[in-house]
Amino acid sequence: NISLLFASSFLLLATAEQLCPETVQGATWAFHHGQDERVEGLSSLDECAAKCRGDSMCEGYTWQDHDVISSCYLFISLTRLHDCPTCVSGTVPHYKNNTVCDVRVHKKLDESVEDSSADCRDSCNKVEKCQAFTYFEEDSSLPNTCMKFDGCSSIRDCLHCSTASSTCISAPQCYQHYTITEDTRNINIKSQHTVYYYDELGRKDTSPQWKGEGYYRFLAPSGIVIPEEDPRHHACGTQYTFYVNGKHPEDIGVETEVDFRSSANHNWKGTITKCNDYYVYYLPEVKHHGRYCASMQFKN
């Protein structure tokens, strides 16, 4: 199941606390003929990524895996990230040897000891607002030191140092999430005399499409959003109905923290991300005999 594969991949990234994702499954960028390049003859995602890393003009790559033939695309500029179910895409840092970010211009966010420049890059990705890093090699003045910065438009000479900037992929959850289509979740389904379902794993009556805490998108016939009003008890195929206690975000790509409240006044923290013309929700498990409702509109 492609959607589950995407979601599990994102959860691995989330476990690593990667604040600057550099890969995304299920999406690619707009391809500009005459500028971007399609490369034939490669046999794997790793080869495609390596091809991009070896090209100083390449900002990102996409590996599209077809049943008959696979393709590698190299991008000079990254614009209009959009759905592509058979694609895996990524950005690559380009290293500038014998340079260091200028601390007179840029704020140093963190400093650590790392075994390699690749480990330094991974460390930068886990530091909030880190956009660039400098790695001091073993024979430098600060052996194996990794400095992380909030940017690096200005550099200085530094013997046996290497500097690179990270290009983050915004809101990868827009393409890596579980999908829910259960018609029993709709606010118009009253369940007082039918089977109850709950968004909690390990139960006999767990909702069929509930996979545990994670990112979810709702699709018809469930509905397309979680409502902003309480549908009341015994709706949505459950005992206690959960809804958004607040407003959905209006800005695309922004992940906003919200409260999900039940008809019994239980509260759980989660998030909502606006993704072009749809929303993705980060939903915790419900421990109080409840379930997230879905609707075709915000208000009942």
Bridge partners (DSSP) listed for residue 244 = 260
The pair of three-digit structure tokens given for residue 71, joined into one six-digit string: 């393709």
Q: Quick check: 15 pLDDT over 50?
A: no
Report how far apart the first and last C-alpha atoms of the chain are (Å, whole number). 32
The helix (run of H) or strand (run of E) holding residue 52 is helix 45-53
Query: Which pTM value belongs to this model?
Result: 0.67
Tokens of 11: 């959860």
pLDDT band (50, 70, 90) for residue 11: very low
Residue 218 neighbours by CB under 8 Å, 6+ apart: 179, 180, 181, 185, 224, 225, 226, 279, 281, 294
Residues 6 or more apart whose CB falls under 8 angstroms from that of 153 comprise 105, 106
pLDDT digits (tens, 9 = 90+) for 64-99: 987 678 999 999 988 888 889 899 999 988 889 999
118: tokens are 């690749």
Tell me: pLDDT of 133 over 90.
yes
The pLDDT of 223-241, averaged and rounded, is 90
pLDDT at 193: 52
Q: What's the pLDDT score for residue 13?
A: 36
- In sequence order, the β-bridge partners of residue 155 are 101
- Token reading at 234: 């015994």
Tell me: pLDDT of 3 over 80.
no
Residue 10: which pLDDT band, with cuts at 50, 70 and 90? very low
> Which residue type is seen at 30?
A
